[in-house]
Structure 1
Amino acid sequence: MDNSNLQQLIDKYLQGTISVEEKKRLLRWYRQQQDQETVWTLEPGETEQDVSQRIKSKIWSDIATPPSRKRIYWPYVAVAATLLLASFVVFMRTKSGIVEQQISFSKSEGTNNRFILLPDSSRVVLRAGSKLTYPNSFSGQTREVNLEGEAYFDIKHNNGQPFIIHTGEVKTTVLGTAFTIKYPNGSNQVEVLVERGKVRVEDSKQVFAELTADQKIDIQGLKVKPAIEKIDVQSAMSWKRQDMAFDALPFGSLAEALEKRYGVSLDFANQTLRNCPISGKFTGSETIEEVLLNICATRNAAYRKTGDGRYEIKGPGCP
């Protein structure tokens, strides 16, 4: 990538106008400047913010003493590295050896939801402005994740390994069900809505409720046991279907929306296929493969996976 193109991408990032694909290009360029990936260890008693500060200090140290073996404009590396730090995918290695993955994105990146397939094949739809932290594998007696913001969970059933979502002091335990949790960052409010199955909501001192289908609990603080409400779940969870119902939308425009939602790259072998109108309606909890299978079938097209997070779509196209 030449300096002019690099400067354009960095300017777009700083102005908040960079696209998902352009951000990926910038991150790829940054990683090419490194000899190897760095794994940052979370020291005992250290917070995520402490690790972030260490990473930033390392970035500025590198700028002050750039390696002589590479001719690089290091201020560019600084911006790209900071972007990598703020990116929605961050990896950390704890002292116990468990690798955690963190998915987060701000509302400034748009209002598109983000789909996540967990290591146990459970499905999550993460709302804009939210953050989910989970291990690379669920190897213990429980499956545990941490949530800030709002997310829809469709949990794979496993009697021997309960699924637990931590939201501040409140934890929600399930065996196999579909529900949403809303936990605004920095608040003491936790809202749990159940679509199907059963969940238990509690803290270290008390069980607030055991919820079943079409029930909701809204916890405002931890002193008073809240009441269980009967709700219209489909209406309350309509946000997870956002952008997943479309009528005669050009395939190319739909592909761009799916790239943002699923964090993938979709390529067209036949560029005229981009012009084909696509109509469809999904629940919002489908995997990218399930979505591609259905929409390709409507255009006599097919898809294949060409790499990690990359798919190629083939078909006769439209004029």
Structure 2
Amino acid sequence: MYQKYASFQTADFVADADFIEWVRRPTASSNQYWQEYLEVFPYQQPVLQQARQTVQLLIEEGRAIPPASEEAEQIWEAIEENLSASPIRRMGFMANGWQRWAAAAAVVLALGVSWYLIAFSNSGAPESYQALVREAESIQPLQEVVNTSAQPRLVELPDGSTITLEKDSRLSFAKSFVGKNREVYLTGAAFFDVTKNPDKPFLVYTNELVTKVLGTSFRIQAFEKAKNIVVSVKTGRVSVYPKKAKKNTDPETAGMLLTPNQEVNFARAEERFNRTLIDKPTVLLTKEELRQYSFDDAPVSQIFAALEKAYGVDIVFDEEVMASCHLTTSLSAETLFDKLEVICEGIGATYKVVDAQVVVTGRGCNQY
């Protein structure tokens, strides 16, 4: 059903009659078709977006679809006047068909959409958040919540999920989640507490990244002009990946999977991920469960295993080297890193965090 468009590029879309008709006169059924198409081929989203923007730009400048002959002439004249190279050969138009519009769109693509934006737009290139929202609203209306106050603002979504929107942040979402996904759009910072629904993933679009969850709690910091995007997980599992992906690849494979107490820092300029632990990892166990972890001259391997369960972290160490290390301790209200300092001091070891894992190194306890 959608295979025809699986490998379409931008120029292919703008020359396709069905695609043009959808942009010209969208209907509920055509909106659903293209939404489902993106769910089947998510890697095509940037291509589809660029094609739609090209169509919309020509629509705006043509003032009619297809453009009246006089207005079309003006567009052609503007294109030719701004060409730095020799003028291209003008293409013949059919009297009243979509083909002449598609030909104009193809020429604009050949010149470069960026030039067209400069030539015909007074507002400049749209911000990422605005572009994402405009893209989504072409399928269904969105409502926006803006927090300009100094206090966090609580937002409840149609599925029961709650979002704590921080200062100078914006959030857009549909009044009802239709289709296979629950999608929201964020610029700024917010904490998400997402209602579990394995059949309908929850997607947060922020600048270059997509954060995908089934039901969990996490925080995103993604201001438009910030150099980095940070996603921190409190509970559950979160998949973070770039919206852009190579052709015919799953974009999630280019991202990272985060678990509780982990965060990823995405450097936007280098397009590079750096996964680590959050500054203050929280205990995932109840106070009653925590009291059960008391150790009297216990192997350090048991203590590390307890820490892994309590904080949801991986602790890497050489079990053979540290087989003779024993300690008497308990898991109290101390932070993870405070506890690690005490343990490492007791066994003559050191630790560091590498890719969200705690790596403990030492000579063993036979040396002491």
Note whether the superposition's TM-score is higher than 0.5.
Answer: no
Q: Tell me the TM-score range normalised by the shorter chain.
A: 0.3 to 0.5
Under a length normalisation based on structure 2, what TM-score does the superposition of the two structures give? Answer: 0.37
Structure showing greater radius of gyration is 2
TM-score (norm 1): 0.42
Higher helix share: 2
